[in-house]
Structure 1
Amino acid sequence: MYRKVMRLRRTWTIYSVLLVSSMIFNRLLPGYTSSISFYIILFTPVISFVHISLTYFAFKLTHNVDKRFVSKGDEIVYVIKLINPTSFLLAPFSLHYVSSEKLFIDAKNDVNHPIIVSEQKTVVIRKKLICTYRGNYSIGVDRVVICDYFKFFRFNYTAIEQHKILVYPKLRELKSSLLRNISNESNESVISNTTQNQSVFTDVRDYQPGDPLNKIHWKLTAKTGDFISKDYSGQVTNKTKIFLDTYSLNLDSESSIVYEDYMVEGCVSLVHFFLENRIHTQLYYEKFGMHKSEGRSSKDFPRFYDELAKLSFYKEQGFSKLIDDVLHLECDPCHVILMTQHITLPLVEKLVRLKYQNYEISIVVCDRKTMDIEGIESFGDNQCQFILTTSRIPIYYMQHDESSTRLGVT
């Protein structure tokens, strides 16, 4: 913006010098040539203003995309048409787009600026764009800047309706032996104290004469070579609750899309992993109130996938209340995964209390080192991390590569 203002100021400065010079020349050497030169210079801005005004109201713009629903990494073709329906030459155009190279890979950007449209002609511009991030956002021309040939004036044409496209997240394989172990443990977690419940156990012991066959832990028996019996005093739970924090961080609009893409793709990988292993999965997030999605097998995954593709983050902190509404009211201890980048001391204290209520809690955060974002906040201070570590609440750092999602610890 500063450079544009300085360019206009320089143009008007040069014009003022020429106008004063022509006036002096006309006074010193009066005549036909000096008078014509003076009036040409005097009325040049007026003519330019009339020409650029006619261009503003006369030209037509149409634009379209070949696909509105695409997967991350797919290519779309964006077509722009600048039409001159008049019989005179229009003022030059330059196009400004609503989305930057951060959101799209511009595979073909050979448009020369400024664009000049001759009389009764149409200029067609085709851009091939590769979608790099998940999200539901606008694409296309944000404004058309019209500038006269002498650069006295600039008009911005903004009466343009952008096209919305929905980019679905990429499905990556989850690779985390740590989380796999926790999910296996959650299949045999204790959530009640009803003794002799034949569906659950909290401990194992050596086989004793008279133990029925359904009390034998066959996996451990095969590993150790000795018969091991289950000591029943709880209830097996094969359930995982995933809480996705939809609070939008204090980032610019494009960085927010990158962050949301990172979190959603991690959530997609987790949901896919649990459903593929036939683990009862419940996903909770804030969307104008509490939203819940539930599934038990891989056939339920498309519904999760579609919902997460359309999910938007917003500036409202309801994550802590969401946890209260679900876990404190339902009282259903199971494996709980929190996906968030915004961890405070009150939230940590709440998680510790839930840990003592037999919830198996895991926290998944973004690995800032692998994200192309400046200014993203840390997930918590040293005190929060210390409390979580001493309470045996694991913190997993999420990383994405080309084909997989990895969860690691520091």
Structure 2
Amino acid sequence: MTKGERIQFNFSTSNETSLFYPNLEVEFYGIDSILIKYFETKRMCVPAKSKKTFRYEIECKYRGCYEIGVHKVYITDFLGIFRMPYKVMEPKEVTVYPKIVVLEKLPIYPNAEEESEMIINGIKSGGGLISDVREYAYGDSMHKVHWKLSAKEQKLMVKSEDATAIAKVYVVLDLVPQGYLEIEAQTILEDKLVECAVAVLYYCLNQEIPTTFCYFQKELRIHKGKDLAYFYELYELLFKMKFQSQVPIDKVFEMIPELEVCRSYWIGITSDLNYELYDQVNRCISEDKQVILIYVNPEQVGGIVNDEKNVISEALIRLGAIYYEINIDDELNQVLNS
């Protein structure tokens, strides 16, 4: 299923004997997930030779894998002296895929020519763009002249040797849960974080930008791809991803090996904004990386107010990082396309 769809779940119990079942206690799967509001333990009386049916309409509002069905059944007497277990059934699994938000743009330029075009049009982001064009020097080939920029600057400008080098994108997802949140609030927050990762990965791989997706789940995991076909492999991975890491995103940034020296964009997606992350962003920028930080604010789902958030976000922007703050109710394409 896709996020937002509804399913029907029907549960029936039949008493085929001539005895009256005074108390029937039914426990369902799903009581340890966001579906608990649908599947609280049900107690009922079932007369002889009768049947009772219960119907549930479940709205699948958030991505993930959920077990539904009857977990345990007990027959008890009026006084609760005995409690006899009844045969249980295997759970059924509901798979809810995240929504794919198609972004019109992100401040990612696959090659330096695109960056220089942005300079011509007077568009800059963060602390400014690093251009791979320079002023003409004696001996430069006229084939390297950037004519549009030369017309704007009123002097000859040429492309550097690596002006068409393809940039690489690193997308890092923070899988550390906010331990103070209840199950429902944590599920909603995780859903928004995954939706951000899906939108960014779809944008990059649809543009055929070499993209590395990184996260820490027992160990550092790295997935590399460069086209839309690979996106769907990551999409299968993301719908069931567990937020159970204890390694914060700033440490994950440190772990990522860089085997090639090239222009790169580092995109961090997190719900925890702190000074340790600020220090890592500072390090990346000092190493000439372009950093984009997407912060999903947990305050709307009962998160503790981060008093340092505004100070850190302003400091990140001053460093030259591109910073987005997304609230739970925000539409991604409205925030990330702005």
User: What TM-score does the superposition give when structure 1 sets the normalisation length?
Assistant: 0.64
1:92–1:148 contact (8 Å) kept in structure 2: yes
Task: Give CA deviations for 1:216-265 in whole Å, capped at 9, x if unaligned.
Answer: 3356468x497853241656332111000111111222222111111001
- 2:191: which partner in 1? 261
Task: Give CA deviations for 1:287-332 in whole Å, capped at 9, x if unaligned.
Answer: 2211122221222221111111121110412533321121566655
- Kindly indicate whether residue 9 of structure 2 is the aligned counterpart of residue 78 of structure 1: yes
- Give the partner amino acid of 1:118: P
- Give the partner amino acid of 1:183: I
- Kindly indicate whether residue 114 of structure 2 is the aligned counterpart of residue 183 of structure 1: no
* Deviation of 1:286 (Å): 1.2
* Deviation of 1:284 (Å): 0.4
- 1:271: which partner in 2? 201
Please identify which structure carries the higher helix content: 1
* Deviation of 1:163 (Å): 3.4
Task: Give CA deviations for 1:340-371 in whole Å, capped at 9, x if unaligned.
Answer: 122332332222122111100111011446x4
- 1:303: which partner in 2? 233
**For residues 171 and 296 of structure 1, what CA distance do their matches in structure 2 show?**
18
User: What TM-score does the superposition give when structure 2 sets the normalisation length?
Assistant: 0.76
- Kindly indicate whether residue 320 of structure 2 is the aligned counterpart of residue 392 of structure 1: yes
* Deviation of 1:145 (Å): 7.3
* Deviation of 1:333 (Å): 4.5
- Give the partner amino acid of 2:49: Q
- 1:249: which partner in 2? 178
Please give the secondary structure, in 2, of the residue aligned with 1:261: helix
- Give the partner amino acid of 1:79: N
1:246–1:314 contact (8 Å) kept in structure 2: yes
Q: 2:270 aligns with which of 322, 340, 346?
A: 340
**For residues 329 and 276 of structure 2, what CA distance do their matches in structure 1 show?**
33
* Deviation of 1:129 (Å): 1.6
**For residues 70 and 307 of structure 2, what CA distance do their matches in structure 1 show?**
36
Summarize the alignment of residues 306-321 of structure 1 with structure 2, pairs less than 5 Å apart. 306-321=236-251
Q: 1:119 aligns with which of 48, 51, 58?
A: 48
**For residues 195 and 14 of structure 2, what CA distance do their matches in structure 1 show?**
41
1:217–1:228 contact (8 Å) kept in structure 2: yes
2:298–2:328 contact (8 Å) kept in structure 1: no
Unaligned runs of 5+ in 2: 114-129
Change (3 A) 1:333 1:209: closer
- Give the partner amino acid of 2:318: T
Unaligned runs of 5+ in 1: 1-69, 190-199
**For residues 330 and 183 of structure 2, what CA distance do their matches in structure 1 show?**
24
Task: Give CA deviations for 1:271-295 in whole Å, capped at 9, x if unaligned.
Answer: 1111122211111011221112222
Please give the secondary structure, in 2, of the residue aligned with 1:71: coil
Summarize the alignment of residues 63-212 of structure 1 with structure 2, pairs less than 5 Å apart. 70-93=1-24, 95=26, 97-99=28-30, 103=34, 115-141=44-70, 162-174=91-103, 180=106, 182-184=107-109, 187-188=111-112, 202-205=132-135, 212=141
Aligned residues: 316
Note the aligned Cα RMSD (angstroms): 3.9
Please give the secondary structure, in 2, of the residue aligned with 1:406: helix
Name which structure has the greater RCO, CA cutoff 8 Å, separation 6+. 2
Please give the secondary structure, in 1, of the residue aligned with 2:22: coil
